[in-house]
Amino acid sequence: MIPPLPPNIHLHPCTNQLKALMTIIRDQNTTGSDFVFYADRVIRLVIEFALNVLPVQETIVTTPTGTCYQGVEFHTKILGVSIVRAGEAMETALRAVCRNVRIGKILIQRDENSIKPCLYYSKLPEDISERHVLLMDPMLGTGGTAIMAVQLLLEAGVKEEKIILVNILSSRDGLNRVHNEFPKISIILWNSVKKHEHC
């Protein structure tokens, strides 16, 4: 039996729409252009799902008919940080749903000899410590790259609980490793690929 995920690991609901999109993406007969189109749709769904983790505060607005509507508004600045290069595929979706969002970049590659992740480049805004950070990387394998990226954000002054790791496919081992290292970050994903327990 597979143990339940910790409460700060958020699995996107397996809707019929998402399942249909993933069926197209995984079909060996899908063309390259169709793969990109439908993968972008999946990424946008997961990015929008990740926004649910951000804190909100209640607010009241007046509608065009003059009535009051009690809703909520985000009360935090956000920043997208893509782990180059795969994470850059998620930037368009983030820009589509968050107007004028700033995006930083981190390039981490494995050393050919030691197989350990090495930081090659990072570009982060000076006010990053004041923001919630959506750390974008569609694939989470061993977790080594994600751990190094999170550590870099912490060193830049971001609070652990303000980091949201957004990915599409994750190994259960990688998830556990990242969560054990940084138990306060939120992790958003569509599926855990090792056990195929979702969708």
Mean pLDDT of the region 98-115: 89
CATH of 10-192 among 3.10.129.10, 3.30.1330.30, 3.40.50.2020, 3.40.50.150: 3.40.50.2020
For the chain, the structural domain boundaries read 10-192
pLDDT digits (tens, 9 = 90+) for 155-173: 999 999 999 999 998 988 9
pTM: 0.90
Question: What's residue 2's pLDDT?
Answer: 62
* HEC sequence for the chain: CCCCCCCCEEECCCCHHHHHHHHHHHCCCCCHHHHHHHHHHHHHHHHHHHHHHCCEEEEEEECCCCCEEEEEEECCEEEEEEEECHHHHHHHHHHHHCCCCEEEEEEEEECCCCCCEEEEEEECCCCHHHEEEEEECCEECCCHHHHHHHHHHHHCCCCHHHEEEECCEECHHHHHHHHHHCCCCEEEECEECCCCCCC
Q: Please provide the average confidence, as pLDDT, over all residues in the chain.
A: 92
Q: What is the share, in percent, of the chain residues with pLDDT greater than 90?
A: 78
